A and B are shown apart, each in its own frame.
Chain A
């Protein structure tokens, strides 16, 4: 078993989230540990994606929403008054359910973030692109077609390209919202393998409907139900000896 002692990279404390008057998340507290993979599981509509989007303030873009409680990134509240949201989103990157490369070349996709943020000043853009593609385990497959349209490669490759695009801006945390749900089993395993190598450098939080995936890749698992966090524990405990009956019922397919 991996050593589970690690610093808290993100500490979520008593988080409540509302869509208008409707409570979507109630009193969620989770320690997200540095360079570990934390999986969030639960049935559709349980709030796990909403929770994920709270971590880098992606929900800010939805009108009528409201947040209470704290999300501390390295001890500093991302909902604090003096917080630079763009900087939060650079430090906390996101990968979505369907691969969403820009309709540009492979190279330009990866170079997009560094260009926008001006990261390429003083650094060779080509080397940032190469390093990011290598980090996403895609370099060998695309190094000879960097000028090719990103939409011409396979879906699995597109998803790894999106991961390369995310890590190109040197984030610290990567949020993944069902990153494999559009991928075939081989591409899924490639992304999972990639996640294991990425956790050497990044803190990863993944939302997944696939419990076997959570069991395979994560160190920690949180189970959400109707906007509440029912149980949070080491993954191996959750899947072999869950503490709550509701967790047991969900992961064995009795409920949800």
Chain B
């Protein structure tokens, strides 16, 4: 069969994307764990480890370019490889959000949290789950599932709005905690942005499978517009 080695290379490229995705999933969960523990050492470690996420992304780009140059892929194969390039970029940016959270931990120092963190870890888990499902849809060529995932972003947006309102209530009660509060809002914002990038991944999955370029809506409202919702 003329496609055997090409199929093997394509599969390898997809495996690389999944491996990068797993690194990012772990980084997101870990960044919030580190935040919970206010673990400065672990935060520095996670920031340094972001380099391996970037390296994995460059390796994927390189392998995709080699595959294009050597195989001159067409149609569905071509769409798959361009999707891989896009998805790798999205994943790398999601890794940057996790790194951003670790940097916030360093800024916050080891002062105790103003309240126990409940919704932020839930946001992180939800974002991780969405990413996992999106990559599953990518591997399975499942456009239907890719179309369904963005609806889950409503939950992320709801959590974000809830965190925002709750923290605002704390600040009104005690303006001296404004700095700590802003840091937590940044964290929530990073997680909200990460989930938005999962939606971009879903768009790429649909493009790979159907050739259709669609813009999927996340929640009913952009989480970033939280200020305007009141």
Contacts and interface: CB of A to CB of B under 8 A. Distances in A.
Contacts of B73: 252
Interface string B43-54: 000000000000
A239 B78 contact: yes
A1 B75 CA distance: 18
Interface residues of B, number: 12
B74 interface: yes
B5 to A, nearest CB: 11
Contacts of B76: 248, 252
B75 A252 contact: yes
Given A240-B211, A253-B2, A253-B6, A212 B77 contact: no
A254 B3 CA distance: 7
B74 A241 contact: no
B3 A242 contact: no
Nearest to B72: A212
| Secondary structure call for the A interface | helix
B13 to A, nearest CB: 15
B3 A211 contact: no
Contact of A248 (B2, B3, B72, B75): B75
Interface in B199-222: 211
B85 to A, nearest CB: 15
Contacts of A241: 75, 79, 211
Interface string A213-256: 00100000000000000000000000111100001100111100
Contacts of A242: 75
Interface string A188-228: 00000000000000000000000110010000000000000
Contact of B77 (A211, A215, A247, A252): A252
Contacts of A253: 2-3, 6
A188 to B, nearest CB: 14
Contacts of A248: 75-76
Contacts of B211: 240-241
A222 to B, nearest CB: 16
A247 to B, nearest CB: 8
Contacts of B6: 253
Contact of A239 (B2, B3, B75): B75
Nearest to B3: A253
Nearest to A251: B74
A241 B79 CA distance: 8
Contact of A251 (B2, B3, B75, B79): B75
B14 to A, nearest CB: 16
A9 B211 CA distance: 31
27 contacts: A211-B74, A212-B72, A215-B74, A239-B74, A239-B75, A239-B78, A240-B74, A240-B75, A240-B78, A240-B79, A240-B211, A241-B75, A241-B211, A242-B75, A247-B75, A248-B76, A251-B74, A251-B75, A252-B73, A252-B74, A252-B75, A252-B76, A252-B77, A253-B2, A253-B3, A253-B6, A254-B3
Interface of B: 2-3, 6, 72-79, 211
Interface of A: 211-212, 215, 239-242, 247-248, 251-254
10 A-B pairs with least C-beta separation: A241-B211, A251-B74, A248-B75, A252-B77, A239-B74, A253-B2, A253-B3, A212-B72, A242-B75, A252-B75
